[in-house]
């Protein structure tokens, strides 16, 4: 079905309606109105940010919202004044979710529940991709689950993101040795 064109005036009304619905905890209606607002004013950093924040608030119940949150936050940061006005808040939201998932992963790892730990570290990576710390923990999970190649791959990524990380380099070498790949371990 073809979407109707939304005027700037209608977009402004939709954004105000979305804020009202948000204040009334009517999240589905708020999402609908923010989407309309963004359709009419794709350069509205506030609408992108607030919709991204709304999705972030739903991650606990629906982890598929991570991608929507990140998509909207990334769009916010690309819009003029988006980084300046919302950058700090976006980093705080992402850092909060990354920390939550990372800590749940560490707790599961300490309890030797490797599949839960793996899932939590994967969630952390979805929130904030490409952190050496996350890949080191993924490496530990995979190796403890007997998935040596996946563990090696995770440590290779960790080293790729931070080549000065002695722990990642050491664990990568150990993983290579334990997999019978002594030449790679020597590198």
Cα separation of 148 and 110, whole Å?
A: 19
The set of residues, in sequence order, having a beta carbon less than 8 Å from that of 148 and lying 6+ positions away, is 142, 175, 178, 179
pLDDT tens track, the chain, 187 positions: 445 788 889 999 999 999 999 999 999 999 999 999 999 999 999 999 999 999 999 998 888 899 999 999 999 999 989 999 999 999 999 999 999 999 999 999 999 999 999 999 999 999 999 899 999 999 999 999 999 999 999 999 999 998 898 988 888 888 888 888 877 776 6
- Specify the pTM: 0.87
- Residues sharing a CB contact under 8 Å with residue 156, sequence separation 6 or more, in sequence order: 172
């Amino acid at each position: 079905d073809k979407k109707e064109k939304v005027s700037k005036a209608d977009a402004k009304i939709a954004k105000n309606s979305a804020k009202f619905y948000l204040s009334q905890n009517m999240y589905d209606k708020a999402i609908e109105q923010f989407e309309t607002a963004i359709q009419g004013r794709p350069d509205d950093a506030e609408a992108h940010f607030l919709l991204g924040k709304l999705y972030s608030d739903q991650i606990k119940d629906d982890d598929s919202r991570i991608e929507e949150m990140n998509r909207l936050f990334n769009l916010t940061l690309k819009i003029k004044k988006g980084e300046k006005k919302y950058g700090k808040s976006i980093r705080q939201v992402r850092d909060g979710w990354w920390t939550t998932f990372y800590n749940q992963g560490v707790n599961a790892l300490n309890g030797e529940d490797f599949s839960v730990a793996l899932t939590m570290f994967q969630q952390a990576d979805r929130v904030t991709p490409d952190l050496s710390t996350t890949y080191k923990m993924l490496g530990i999970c995979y190796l403890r689950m007997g998935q040596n190649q996946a563990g090696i791959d995770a440590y290779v990524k960790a080293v790729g993101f931070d080549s000065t990380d002695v722990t990642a380099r050491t664990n990568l070498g150990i993983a290579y040795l334990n997999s019978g790949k002594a030449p790679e371990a020597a590198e």
